[in-house]
């Protein structure tokens, strides 16, 4: 669709109208340009003005990445997200950015930088165009963020989602003899598509058969989503399943709290070099054999100011402070925080000697994460803010085994706090080895 539109702009609407194709890998970019080549070969001769031989791709100045259509004096360049700097200085009127969800190895800041580099080469003139398209790759990445901005009307982009049932090849013939039997075999999901979303019986017959290839409907939804929300939620390597998020929401909604007073104040200082650039305070407790994560405070104030806020909460509720050390370099600020706590008479949830600093890394948080899972499965975890629960949908591991989340600070602070309280709940003494 995008390739055809861009071809129309170059072959009919404009001359000297250059375009750029940039995908996550070079073969993908070349494949998109290959579609354009096939279109040129089938282009009606009666629409070709002048020499028909000039209506085909030729290398531009012997470049393997830039093709030229002499009859229209236009170029079609290809690039990859792995080496976007090659497009700098180019004069482009259109850009097709493909599989953006996979750019930058799923790192938000890297992907954003690449898109900014490519988009910066597009002139701001009437009928210029930037298209970002992708298969969904989970929530919480750059592409998902841009989609949400577009849906909210905060972006210069128009959101377009194409569900599987709008693609013609995903259907099969249904005979009159099998109609009733097929409809009777639908589950609630398929029946809802049939009755409320006007999905044809022919498309649903294909979908019903295709589902048998997958061990779970979740996998099917990842490949053939019916809605944009389903596409993002079902794809990617999410840490928390949709069922876990749903169960956590249901458990938390049923729990009614009055006069909540935290028995633990957890503080995760900001790490400017990582994904959590704000200080985070989690106020937690144990009530009726359940671990409660109550109000979360996020702040970009100085560390001294947020520490004073944490001390204030500790004094008000007679709660100990749990300093969490999660830093990309060194040991962070935990030792300084512990000295300040001792100076101000604030008790600590851990021993105050240096060996008991809660030094958390992506590699040693796995066991704590298992405790978090158990609390969810046993309906023993309550997270009071629905937005905090929703943020867990975006939690995932990158290819280099580092954690990623749209609110990574809450993810880390929540997991560590829940692990600490779960040990108290089960009368297990927390030792420094729990953080090794």
**Residue 275 confidence (pLDDT):** 56
- Give the model's confidence band at 329: pLDDT under 50 very low, under 70 low, under 90 confident, else very high: low
Report the range of poorest mean pLDDT among 85-99, 145-159, 329-343. Answer: 329-343
Quick one: tokens of 173? 């013939």
- Give the model's confidence band at 186: pLDDT under 50 very low, under 70 low, under 90 confident, else very high: very high
Residue 269 sits in the same domain as residue 413: yes
Residue 9 sits in the same domain as residue 110: yes
Average pLDDT over residues 232-247: 80
Measured CA to CA, the distance from residue 132 to residue 110 in angstroms comes to 16
**Residue 352 confidence (pLDDT):** 42
| pLDDT, the chain, mean | 86
Report the range of poorest mean pLDDT among 167-171, 218-222, 348-352, 388-392. Answer: 348-352
Please, what is the angle between helix 303-317 and helix 334-343, to 10°? Answer: 50
**Residue 355 confidence (pLDDT):** 42
- Judge contact between 243 and 148, C-beta under 8 A: no
Q: Is residue 236 part of a domain?
A: no
pTM of whole model > 0.85?
no
Q: Which of 318, 322, 316 is closest to 351 using CA atoms?
A: 322
Residue 400 sits in the same domain as residue 267: yes
- Give the model's confidence band at 433: pLDDT under 50 very low, under 70 low, under 90 confident, else very high: very low
Give residue 299's domain range: 242-435
Residue 156 sits in the same domain as residue 250: no
173 pLDDT above the threshold of 90: yes
Q: For the chain, how many structural domains are there in total?
A: 3
Report the range of poorest mean pLDDT among 16-25, 254-263, 309-318, 354-363. Answer: 354-363
- DSSP string for 261-308: --SEEEEE---TTSS--SEEEEEEEEETTEEEEEEEEEE-S-HHHHHH
Range among 190-199, 255-264, 421-430 rated most confident: 190-199
Average pLDDT over residues 350-368: 62
Average pLDDT over residues 25-40: 88
356 pLDDT above the threshold of 50: no
Quick one: tokens of 283? 């106020």
Q: What percent of the chain has pLDDT over 70?
A: 88
Decide which of 139, 161, 183 is a domain's last residue. 161
Q: Is residue 233 part of a domain?
A: no
């Amino acid at each position: 669709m995008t390739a055809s539109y861009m071809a129309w702009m170059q072959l009919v609407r404009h001359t000297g109208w250059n375009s750029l194709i940039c995908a996550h890998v070079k073969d993908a970019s070349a494949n998109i340009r290959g579609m354009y080549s096939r279109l040129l070969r089938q282009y009606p001769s009666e629409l070709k003005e002048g020499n028909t031989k000039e209506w085909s791709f030729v290398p531009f100045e012997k470049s393997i990445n830039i093709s030229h259509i002499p009859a229209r004096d236009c170029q079609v360049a290809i690039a990859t997200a792995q080496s976007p700097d090659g497009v700098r200085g180019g004069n482009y009127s259109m850009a097709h950015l493909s599989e953006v969800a996979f750019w930058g190895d799923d790192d938000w800041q890297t992907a954003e930088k690449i898109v900014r580099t490519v988009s910066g080469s597009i002139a701001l003139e009437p009928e210029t165009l930037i298209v970002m398209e992708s298969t969904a790759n989970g929530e919480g990445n750059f592409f998902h963020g841009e989609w949400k901005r577009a849906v909210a009307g905060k972006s210069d982009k128009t959101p377009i989602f194409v569900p599987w049932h709008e693609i013609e090849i995903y259907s099969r013939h249904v005979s009159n003899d099998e109609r009733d039997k097929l409809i009777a075999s639908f589950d609630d999901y398929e029946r809802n598509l049939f009755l409320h979303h006007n999905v044809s019986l022919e498309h649903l017959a294909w979908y019903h058969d295709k589902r048998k290839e997958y061990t779970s409907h979740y996998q099917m939804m990842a490949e053939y989503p019916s809605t944009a929300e389903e596409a993002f939620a079902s794809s990617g390597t999410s840490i928390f399943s949709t069922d876990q998020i749903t169960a956590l929401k249901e458990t938390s909604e049923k729990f009614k709290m009055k006069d909540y007073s935290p028995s633990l104040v957890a503080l995760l200082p900001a790490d400017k070099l990582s994904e959590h650039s704000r200080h985070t305070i989690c106020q937690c407790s144990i009530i009726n054999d359940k671990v409660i994560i109550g109000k979360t405070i996020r702040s970009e104030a100085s560390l001294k100011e947020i520490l004073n806020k944490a001390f204030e909460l500790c004094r008000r509720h007679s709660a100990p402070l749990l300093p969490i050390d999660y830093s990309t370099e060194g040991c962070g600020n935990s030792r300084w925080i512990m000295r300040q706590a001792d100076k101000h008479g604030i008790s600590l949830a851990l021993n105050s000697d240096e060996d008991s600093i809660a030094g958390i890394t992506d590699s040693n948080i796995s066991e704590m994460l298992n405790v978090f899972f158990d609390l969810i499965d046993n309906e023993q975890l309550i997270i009071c803010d629905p937005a905090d629960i929703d943020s867990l949908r975006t939690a995932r591991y990158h290819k280099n085994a580092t954690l990623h989340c749209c609110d990574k600070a809450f993810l880390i602070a929540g997991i560590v706090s829940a692990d600490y309280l779960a040990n108290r709940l089960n009368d297990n003494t927390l030792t420094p080895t729990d953080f090794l």
